[in-house]
Structure 1
């Protein structure tokens, strides 16, 4: 049976052992074959730090370094289930492409950490749209913190900006992506002054989505605000 368990989390820092141990605890429960982390706030990962994440003994990884104490991305995969053939990355995303050896199916996964600026978001959607055109023959998923809500009921106690939501929804539609429904909560980000929002998502190419069996759920966020 194919294992399609992928984990994504804006961890808001991974340099402390406590944070890495919490990630390992979640991984022990979810048992993902691939793990996408955003906002790692880490300039350089060591092999020992990677092993503390609880993804197994045989793993591969790719990282985007943080800028000072902000940003940073990490994608880790189990070599027992995933064979990666191609890696591309930029400041706000990591693409891994390869083979799910259990199902013998080719796939691509994008780990996303979108910027705060509306202008920079629009540039990111355009960049990703072009990238996805080159992956049109593959099963594709986009996981991460998109830093945007799609509609007004996905936020609480902060302003909804329709133009930003419209641009994001247009990107999703043009790219032929579908969103996996979240089953056990409404919001994924919890800010100051009771602010809440659905910023974290899983988007999947139509053909892969229609194969069915997708479930998206959250785990305890620990020290993170996601």
Structure 2
């Protein structure tokens, strides 16, 4: 059964037009799961969350922003995914549960990784400990190869660590669709 997941580093939900654009994209995509990074919401803004959830999403986990560039939001359709447990930290939301249509136990992971190589390595090692099939998305603040980055220098060691993580978990790095940014 095909389904859509929206992953979006929104870089802030403080402006009404940004919230409208995000809501429109979520609605148009008919997403069953939404991972938002960098909400920059220091506390849950009930009106913004209500708009994001619309009529399709029944469940959510929100990590408030502690610094200028953080804050995570995970939304999901309870008719698609049934959460059994969750792990939440400043940079990560891990939802463990079942995909309703297949009864498959999976992890849904929303990530906003640190932009520090040493801390990111530790972060990826911790992610490797989850032993379920996973759907993982977000902003890892690194690239796997030079061709994924426009301008600036690529940290070769960080790229190797990230690529080893993707390959070691047998993850599929999905192609970018519909935007000029990854």
TM-score between both structures, scaled by the size of structure 1: 0.73
The aligned counterpart of 1:181 is 175
The aligned counterpart of 1:110 is 109
Deviations 1:43-86 (A, max 9, x none): 22244332201442651111111114320111011223222111
Q: CA deviation at 1:107?
A: 1.9
| Count of aligned pairs between the two proteins | 182
Judged with a 3 Å threshold, the aligned counterparts in structure 2 of structure 1 residues 24 and 183 are, in CA distance, closer, same or farther, namely closer
The aligned counterpart of 2:47 is 48
**Secondary structure of the corresponding residue to residue 103 of structure 1:** coil
Q: Does 1:149 align with 2:148?
A: no
Q: Which runs of 5+ in 1 are unaligned?
A: 189-199, 201-226
The aligned counterpart of 2:99 is 100
Q: Which aligned runs of 4 or more in structure 1 are off by greater than 6 angstroms?
A: none
The whole-number CA distance in structure 2 between the counterparts of 1:50 and 1:74 is 9
Deviations 1:193-220 (A, max 9, x none): xxxxxxx4xxxxxxxxxxxxxxxxxxxx
The aligned counterpart of 2:134 is 140
TM-score between both structures, scaled by the size of structure 2: 0.90
Deviations 1:130-187 (A, max 9, x none): 2x2xx2xx331111111111111111220122111111111222223221233556x5
Q: What is the RMSD of the two structures over their aligned residues, measured on CA atoms?
A: 1.9
Instruction: Decide whether the 8 Å contact of 2:53 with 2:75 is kept in 1.
Output: no
